[in-house]
């Protein structure tokens, strides 16, 4: 998929206009990462893992990596790989430009060596320098137009042929955009300039840096930079996310503020931006939530079907699910995790890797050979385990799985599931003395999907009526 098409897809899926600048400046590096043997990589990895659900691109600034020598360049390599592993495109903020043959070498470095999805380019050398990058038709090229720094006025606002130079540049890039892979960098600190550039480059995608620490305002940047179709805008924030105490919280707040500003600019009702909305959309797109006419294991017919087994074929969504489980586990006390086969096994493995806790699982049937064990993995009697499963319906399968755990001396107090169908399972397990923690409810899932226009109101009402009929 070409870069701008991929960017629009990720933006739509995550409900986000946010790009996080990965600029690991040691002057604002949190102390915990400064003590790491590979501080830049440790910092970037923590930021990506905390923010991936809320952003549609990352933008590492080449300067901070080059300044660290070989170790910095290795950190850049690992950072780009990490972002790609989370399904997020990378814009290499390198501001490259040179005479044609040198520009070609810069382009090869950005796209073939570093494997960036897009790059920022300085247009001062003219069209042949830009063309060296634009020839990579599947890659994105953001051309500096009106930047966010105070010195932008020194040259960019000089008048030529009766208009500012930055508007002449925007017109030139529009003409050069024959492959549809050029965009413009326009700083949020000059919202009037953003609006003017949009007036002469109506269809070009914009990368808008300068929000947050540099003083740019989200609402003004969104209102000035959106295309008429509501797209074509990527807003970058760096220090306000990577220097925050809570990386994920800062990114989520920015994403939600941008979504609200977009809705206001387009005159739309504010879209659903609750933290779980992105996960619900991802589950729906992965085929984990399906509407139709299904026969359940019980023989009942249902207008909705939940199939979390397909997560094994959607690594990005599985990672989102694991992060959601991990956030819920933070408030629980436990020594090990226990995943119920089969759907919860890949989930449990991902969660165990994320939270760095050992995993066991009860077998559905005892082995008739070898150790004849009923539980796979290692444990010590008296240890406390949290039981993980995908969905809770009646609770019967949970009780069946818990029995061999407790008979082996493990202590079970908490059960964590992704989805509560609302059919009495929680109440049944709590009556047995267990605490049930559900990340989502089936009712919430259909409400969010209807709010986002992904299912019809009629489908939502049909599923709600089905759930009401089967309340205990």
Does residue 344 sit within a domain? Answer: yes
Q: Which of 220, 235, 266 is the last residue of a domain?
A: 266
Q: Quick check: 305 and 292 in contact, CB under 8 A?
A: yes
Kindly name the residue from 59, 95, 139, 471 that is annotated as catalytic.
95
Distance CA 63, CA 85 (A): 23
Whether residue 122 is found in the same domain as residue 83: yes
Token pair for 433 = 């003395």
Can you give the pLDDT at residue 397? 87
Can you give the pLDDT at residue 444? 84
Give the bridge partners for 129, in sequence order: none
Does residue 272 sit within a domain? Answer: no
Whether residue 236 is found in the same domain as residue 339: no
CATH number, residue 413? 3.40.50.2020
How many CB atoms are closer than 10 A to CB 367?
11
Torsion of CA 221, 223, 224, 228, to 10 degrees: 130
Whether residue 98 is found in the same domain as residue 241: yes
Does residue 329 sit within a domain? Answer: yes
Does residue 275 sit within a domain? Answer: no
Whether residue 260 is found in the same domain as residue 287: no
Whether residue 53 is found in the same domain as residue 108: yes
Can you give the pLDDT at residue 465? 87
95 is catalytic: yes
Can you give the pLDDT at residue 119? 98
Whether omega for the bond prior to residue 139 falls within 30 degrees of 0, making it cis, is: no
Whether residue 262 is found in the same domain as residue 352: no
Averages of pLDDT over runs of 10 residues in the chain (472 residues) are: 92 92 93 92 94 94 96 97 94 94 95 97 93 96 93 89 92 95 94 93 94 75 91 93 88 87 78 64 89 75 89 89 89 92 93 94 68 81 95 89 93 95 89 92 84 77 83 64
Whether residue 285 is found in the same domain as residue 258: no
Whether residue 29 is found in the same domain as residue 161: yes
- Beta-carbon contacts of 396 under 8 Å, excluding residues fewer than 6 positions away, are 428
Whether residue 353 is found in the same domain as residue 405: yes
CATH number, residue 94? 3.20.20.70
Distance CA 413, CA 403 (A): 12
How many CB atoms are closer than 10 A to CB 267?
6
Can you give the pLDDT at residue 434? 94
What's the structural domain count of the chain?
Answer: 2
Whether residue 78 is found in the same domain as residue 155: yes
Whether residue 303 is found in the same domain as residue 214: no
Whether residue 259 is found in the same domain as residue 352: no
Write out the residue range of the structural domain in which residue 34 sits.
3-266
**Number of residues assigned to the chain:** 472
Does residue 271 sit within a domain? Answer: no
């Amino acid at each position: 998929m070409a870069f701008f098409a991929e960017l629009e897809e990720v933006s739509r899926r995550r409900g986000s206009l946010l790009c996080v600048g990965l600029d690991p400046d040691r002057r604002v590096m949190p102390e915990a990462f400064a003590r790491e043997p590979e501080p830049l990589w440790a910092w970037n990895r923590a930021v990506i893992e905390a923010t991936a659900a809320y952003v549609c691109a990352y933008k590492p600034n080449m300067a901070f990596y080059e300044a660290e020598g070989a170790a910095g360049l290795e950190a850049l390599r690992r950072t780009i790989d990490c972002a790609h592993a989370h399904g997020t495109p990378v814009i290499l903020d390198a501001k490259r430009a040179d005479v044609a043959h040198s520009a070609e070498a810069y382009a090869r470095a950005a796209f073939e060596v570093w494997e960036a999805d897009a790059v920022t380019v300085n247009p001062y050398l003219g069209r042949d320098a830009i063309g060296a990058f634009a020839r990579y038709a599947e890659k994105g090229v953001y051309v500096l137009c009106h930047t966010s720094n105070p010195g932008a006025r020194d040259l960019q606002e000089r008048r030529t042929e009766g208009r500012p130079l930055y508007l002449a540049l925007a017109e030139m890039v529009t003409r050069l955009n024959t492959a549809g892979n050029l965009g413009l960098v326009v700083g949020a600190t000059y919202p009037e300039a953003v609006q003017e550039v949009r007036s002469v480059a109506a269809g070009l995608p914009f990368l808008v840096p300068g929000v947050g620490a540099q003083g740019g305002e989200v609402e003004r940047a969104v209102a000035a930079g959106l295309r008429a179709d509501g797209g074509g805008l990527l807003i970058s924030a760096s220090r306000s996310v990577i220097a925050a105490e809570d990386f994920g919280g800062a990114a989520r707040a920015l994403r939600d503020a941008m979504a609200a500003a977009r809705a206001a600019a387009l005159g739309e009702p504010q879209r659903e931006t609750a933290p779980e909305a992105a996960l619900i959309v991802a589950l729906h797109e992965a085929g984990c939530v399906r509407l139709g006419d299904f026969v359940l294991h019980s023989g009942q017919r249902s207008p909705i079907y939940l199939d979390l087994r397909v997560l094994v074929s959607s690594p990005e969504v599985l990672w989102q699910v694991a992060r959601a489980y991990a956030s819920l586990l933070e408030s629980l006390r436990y020594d090990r995790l226990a995943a119920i086969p089969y759907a919860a096994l890949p989930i449990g493995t991902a969660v165990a890797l994320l939270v760095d806790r050992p995993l066991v699982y009860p077998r559905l049937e005892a082995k008739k050979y070898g150790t004849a064990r009923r539980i796979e993995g290692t444990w010590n009697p008296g240890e406390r385990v949290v039981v993980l499963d995908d969905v809770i319906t009646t609770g019967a399968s949970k009780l069946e799985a818990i029995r061999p755990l407790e008979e082996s001396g493990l202590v079970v107090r908490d059960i964590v599931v992704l989805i509560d169908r609302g059919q009495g399972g929680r109440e049944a397990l709590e009556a047995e003395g267990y605490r049930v923690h559900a990340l989502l409810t089936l009712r919430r899932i259909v409400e969010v999907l209807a709010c986002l226009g992904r299912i019809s109101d009629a489908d939502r009402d049909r599923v709600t009526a089905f759930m009401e009929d089967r309340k205990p």
